Structure 1
């Protein structure tokens, strides 16, 4: 596989000109264009209503130009009155017209000004509020999970980590497609629109403060560049990447990925297993689907389990994590379980419930 360049810094030389946008989840509101159009229609309605009121009572008004008031003069008078211009060339002269000005047109004038001024104030307030929310989010977000790519793999990964108890506000999705980010924001996740191979975009996602990074891009070369950039910005984060071709997995590990999932090979092996043994294929598919049937989780050893053998626990233990080693359940070097061990076990998932916060699913694609 050919990469666009070996030097990541050279690849990102034009980062300052990168286009990105941070979107935070919020309550559903009308778009700014619809709000402005709605307010303009309200203002025009007030203007038309005022003009019709003056025209129906045109006998109580005097035009300095020709003495009488027609429909055009009524709209003219309504315009200069509601805008508080008041040239004085058309004036109410009868008592009825003056009473209407006091009790009807004056409130309409106030309403007209509220609509116009309110639109400006709302736009300014909304911008200030959004900027404050963005600054507040940047200050407080940490130990979060950054998901690069919100396609099928990315969405499944987000659903799985959230099923373990991770809050949606602790997930940041990065994708170059604005519509995809809008979909992520609608689910309660923060989103960053931009090319994740640029460090400026990942910095907007606060990747330097993230605990986990999931790389689920569509192209393997993009996954390599994203992994290189993320590892450069955060040396301690756990990075899990997905690739299509198994031959590119070593390159992802060299780029800094802690774990690499080969989606094409995994799907192929599951297909073959389903052909050779349909029942075994059903069990494997059940394990892959988080939150239903059987789940594969990693959890710490409890005090009650310490000193016991792996097969003496309540769960079906398949592996024991001791230090940096993953030992099979039948490995004689395990001996008895220790409090510092972690168990990889198969548990029965209860629909509608979440996995315990101290448990975590194994990386899956």
Structure 2
């Protein structure tokens, strides 16, 4: 029996200790730096108001007081200035000691390199625009990441399992370790500037919640969500997902189609990642500077004999299958093209 545990002060200290144990080294370091910076500014303002020192001398006095280096005062302090200095020593030195202890902890635990690497990764993530966020790095999410990486699409992975961080580091994939259920994690992954998010966790309930959060934080984002049950698929659509996928259902349909229409499935295999073939299926966005802009489909196919345009999408209109040969190609049109790989490579820069 410990009667001390019933005192409010003990309960408060216990809560603080428990909260600190849950904080990551990055957050503890950021907190320590923020405390030292805040005390330095407060000290400078105090010396400026009390002793009427210049801005430089005020910051100088604040820094030497907090760091306790023992340098001399700029000028003799008044009684009010000395009382202020005592208070600054009591509070500021504690903040400085906390900062040094966090740095020492990072060094002793060998996390300094990890911390510096994570800081660099966070800066790279914050600099992204129009990237794709993948929530979940399981079998489904890994397949998505491999294909997006193969196409050099900028992406960020959110994964709750820290054990998979090493795999993501080896693959050189930008990632955030945490739960996409938390708003702070989505913001850390750049949800506000992302163009699409793929919700691929193993829980339908979590996927619905993440879909709602993503739509709230970025109303224009494209949301692709995985669902394992009929109810989950229905709720994902209601939550605002632009496209929902039942992974096991699609796999079963592909196997059945392979038995019933094997030649059709062989044709569809053109778009399967990792397949080596002389013929490929690709989509190409036409820019305003493209030589293809203003030409007809017949003219483009005539210039590239081993290439066919099988579909075209213009602005918000639905996808048009097998557009007419006299259809004129305009800037920002999206073309779905099939042909030899060399012909596609020549057309792709257009």
Q: What CA RMSD, in Å, does the superposition of the two structures yield over aligned residues?
A: 3.9
Q: Does 1:146 align with 2:133?
A: yes
1:71 counterpart residue number = none
Aligned partner of residue 210 in structure 1, secondary structure: coil
Q: Which of 264, 269, 285 does residue 300 from structure 1 map onto?
A: 285
Give how far 1:178 is off.
Answer: 1.4
Structure 1 unaligned regions, length at least 5: 1-15, 24-116, 359-365
Matches within 5 A, 1:70-109: none
Q: Which of 135, 141, 144 does residue 157 from structure 1 map onto?
A: 144
Give how far 1:174 is off.
Answer: 0.9
Q: Which of 322, 327, 338 does residue 346 from structure 1 map onto?
A: 338
Aligned partner of residue 325 in structure 1, secondary structure: coil
Aligned partner of residue 147 in structure 1, secondary structure: strand
Q: Greater relative contact order: 1 or 2 (C-alpha under 8 angstroms, separation 6 or more)?
A: 1
| 1:151-177 alpha-carbon deviations (Å, 9 max, x no partner) | 2221221122222233xxx42211211
- Label 1:280 to 1:261 Cα distance change in 2 as closer, same or farther (>3 A): same
1:181 counterpart residue number = 165
Q: TM-score, normalised by structure 1?
A: 0.55
Q: How many residue pairs were aligned?
A: 243
CA distance in 2, matches of 1:325, 1:234: 23
Q: TM-score, normalised by structure 2?
A: 0.57
Structure of larger gyration radius: 1
Q: Which of 112, 129, 133 does residue 116 from structure 2 map onto?
A: 129
Q: Does 1:316 align with 2:308?
A: yes
CA distance in 2, matches of 1:221, 1:121: 40
Give how far 1:331 is off.
Answer: 5.7
Structure 2 unaligned regions, length at least 5: 1-18, 27-103
Does the CA contact (< 8 Å) of 2:155 and 2:174 recur in 1?
yes
| 1:251-276 alpha-carbon deviations (Å, 9 max, x no partner) | 32332322333323322221111001
Q: Does 1:195 align with 2:187?
A: no
